[in-house]
Amino acid sequence: MINPKPATYEPAPLIEPGHTFGSITDKIGGVVLTTKQPLSWIIVVSIGFMIMGMLGMAVTWLLLKGTGIWGVNIPVGWGFAIINFVWWIGIGHAGTLISAILLLLKQGWRTSINRFAEGMTIFAVMCAGLFPLIHTGRPWLAAYWLFPYPNSMSIWPQFRSPLIWDVFAVSTYFTVSLLFWYVGLIPDLATLRDKAKLKPVKVAYGMLALGWRGSARHWQRYEHIYLLLAGLSTPLVLSVHTVVSFDFSIGIIPGWHATIFPPYFVAGAIYAGFAMVLTLAIPLRKVYGMEDFITMRHLENMGKVTLLTGMIVGYGYISEAFFGWYSANKYEGFMILNRMFGPYWYMYWTLIFCNIITPQALWFRKVRTTPMGLFAVAMIVNVGMWLERFVIVVTSLHRDFLPSSWGMYYGTVWDWMTFIGTIGMFVTFFFLFVRFLPMISIFEMRTMAPAAKMKESEGH
């Protein structure tokens, strides 16, 4: 994952010198236990909450009126809903990747970012999970007919459909990620319980801490379960987006029906995920003065991963174009030309700019080590990844086999309200998390502290 470091320069440390166990605990725990929050937090949360209200409005109207309030039509039966679903799920990948895979790979630098990356995952998957349900014509039935259970109709779901696989893939992923996150939180919750001044706060964190006393036995079991979950969620990181990609590659529509989808989607997901982690990490460390814990080293490494995955995604685009020509299939060929020069050409080329051209900037150490530069790149990539899903879903459908059924698709105001609404929901949840839970793993940071180098060597 990480480039062999060139002899020329010494990378920034994972934690700025001069920190003790105490200082770490106070710095991180302080954010949670203090009563007053920076103004920026209040502003962001209240805006996020208002946007979330917009989501509520959009969904209510949707349930009352029907899917027709959106822009979807025949031939383009899927629109924003599925685009957003795939986009959010993609974002949800970085968390587990960082926590699980980097953990197994013994990447120490994961420590200070895994906690909120996991948080991000949970909330992203929550946003994603909303869409497959509300995009159906009759959500009140889809909610339970997609699950196999003995019913009075004595029939089962149709297990050949990728949508059923989705149901299981996503719900499993969500459950495991949640467990993983929570288990990781337990020692810190205990710390907070002990640090808290007020009784009710103590009780609250106490309950969540499940009576953690930090005894050797606790630690030993903790290590086991944490490793176990890490092992469990590692394949999930790959499986979820693979299954999501099946939604398309199982279809016969040119532009969907391609074998490269699974790797291409997974790479894209990690790409989007890291971009989002950067998008969140950079402002956070500034606002809460966490520069000591989330150092340049972290940012730089994430930049490198972004660059790598970006290249893989780029390869995906190129091979798609290549197949379009090499397959010598008139429908495939037309599809790729239609993407590049059809009515939605601007979508395609913007996407190329966002996802292939922009990340090239990360070759330069200067960019990788300037937060603003990284932030800019990350933002552009976030947009790019949404466009990618738009291109895949819409431009494949809107001109398929029979010219007589060709059509166009445009999102309506309700599409946009729903999409932006989920962003609001994400922001709200994320900042509430930042407020009430330690955004960085306290006890793991402790292991980073100079005083803990001993422990480190014995460690996991």
Binding site for other proteins (CB under 8 A): 61, 63-69, 71-78, 135-142, 145-146, 151-158, 160-164, 167, 193-194, 199, 202-203, 206, 210-211, 247, 250-253, 330, 334, 397, 400-408
Q: How far apart, in whole angstroms, are the C-alpha atoms of residue 141 and residue 217?
A: 47
Cα 119 to its chain centre, rounded Å, is: 9
> Minimum distance from CB of 118 to other proteins (Å)?
24
Cα 83 to its chain centre, rounded Å, is: 14
- Is residue 410 within 8 A of residue 2, CB to CB? The reply is no
> Minimum distance from CB of 56 to other proteins (Å)?
15
Q: 178, exposed or middle or buried, with CB in 10 Å at 0-12, 13-18, 19+? A: middle
Q: Cβ closer to other proteins: 104 or 408?
A: 408
Q: How far apart, in whole angstroms, are the C-alpha atoms of residue 285 and residue 167?
A: 36
> Minimum distance from CB of 57 to other proteins (Å)?
10
* Region class of 246: left (phi > 0), else alpha (psi between -120 and 50), else beta: alpha
Q: How far apart, in whole angstroms, are the C-alpha atoms of residue 234 and residue 230?
A: 6
Q: Cβ closer to other proteins: 368 or 398?
A: 398
> Minimum distance from CB of 158 to other proteins (Å)?
4
- Is residue 52 within 8 A of residue 424, CB to CB? The reply is yes
Torsion sign across C-alpha atoms 13, 121, 244, 321: negative
Q: Cβ closer to other proteins: 252 or 454?
A: 252
Q: Cβ closer to other proteins: 116 or 212?
A: 212
Q: Cβ closer to other proteins: 231 or 343?
A: 343
Q: Cβ closer to other proteins: 55 or 272?
A: 55
Residue 231, CA atoms < 13 Å, CB-side half-sphere: 6
Q: Cβ closer to other proteins: 115 or 193?
A: 193
> Minimum distance from CB of 252 to other proteins (Å)?
5
> Minimum distance from CB of 375 to other proteins (Å)?
37
Q: Cβ closer to other proteins: 34 or 154?
A: 154
> Minimum distance from CB of 72 to other proteins (Å)?
7
Q: How far apart, in whole angstroms, are the C-alpha atoms of residue 183 and residue 171?
A: 18
Q: What is the DSSP letter of 74?
A: S
Q: How far apart, in whole angstroms, are the C-alpha atoms of residue 440 and residue 357?
A: 33
Query: Quick one: tokens of 275?
Result: 């971009």
Q: How far apart, in whole angstroms, are the C-alpha atoms of residue 59 and residue 211?
A: 40
> Minimum distance from CB of 397 to other proteins (Å)?
6
Of residues 166, 44, 173, 50, the one with CA closest to residue 100: 173
Torsion sign across C-alpha atoms 343, 344, 349, 352: negative
Q: Cβ closer to other proteins: 138 or 453?
A: 138
Q: How far apart, in whole angstroms, are the C-alpha atoms of residue 357 and residue 370?
A: 19
> Minimum distance from CB of 166 to other proteins (Å)?
8
